[in-house]
Amino acid sequence: MSQTILVVEDDPVLRALIKEHLEDAGTYRVLEAPSAASALEQLGSLRPDLVILDLVLPDRSGYEVCEHIRNEPRTRDVPVLVVSARLLPSHRAQAEEAGASAFMPKPYAKRELLKHLKALLPGPTKAVTKS
């Protein structure tokens, strides 16, 4: 059974690359959101297994989207992997404060993305140790 991942990324090239990485892994159903509004709309009607979230979006910050996910009873336990080019310790701290499950800096390698997913997703693909 495939797991559903919502990719919230405004850059169409990066969004397509993440989708390609996930589809190549063969076990993920990928949904896309180019903005916070699109992500929140989709989260209103579905509960993904994981959200991959950029911090810089055209309409609201990724921090706000993460807080929304954590404040909604239906999605509060959905893992959120923040993927961002904002690399200051304060950015990571703010993401954690907003409820991010993990933080991965851009650019990243495909294996790094998959390693995070295995650590965050429930089920038989979950890694023994969390990175």
21-69 pLDDT per residue, tens: 999 887 899 999 999 999 999 999 999 999 999 999 999 999 999 999 9
Whole-number Cα distances in Å, 37 to 34, 41, 61, 73, 111:
8, 6, 11, 19, 30
Inside any domain, residue 130: no
Q: Provide mean pLDDT across the span 85-95.
A: 89
Residue 89 sits in a domain whose CATH number is: 3.40.50.2300
Radius of gyration, CA atoms only, the chain: 13
Give the count of domains, the chain. Answer: 1
Q: What is the pLDDT of residues 107-116, one digit of tens each?
A: 888 999 999 9
What is the DSSP track for the chain?
Answer: -PEEEEEE-S-HHHHHHHHHHHHHHSSEEEEEESSHHHHHHHHHH---SEEEE-S--SSS-HHHHHHHHHHSTTTTTS-EEEEES--SHHHHHHHHHHT-SEEEESS--HHHHHHHHHHHS-STT--SS--
For residue 36, being part of any structural domain is answered with yes
* Residue range 82-95: mean pLDDT, rounded: 90
**Helices 12-25 and 110-120: angle between axes, nearest 10 degrees:** 70
Range of the domain at 114: 3-120
From 127, 55, 58, 42, select the one nearest 96 (Cα to Cα): 55
* pTM greater than 0.95 (yes/no): no
Domain-located, residue 125: no
Residue 127 lies in a domain: no
The position carrying tokens 């969390």 is 130
**Residue 82 belongs to a domain:** yes
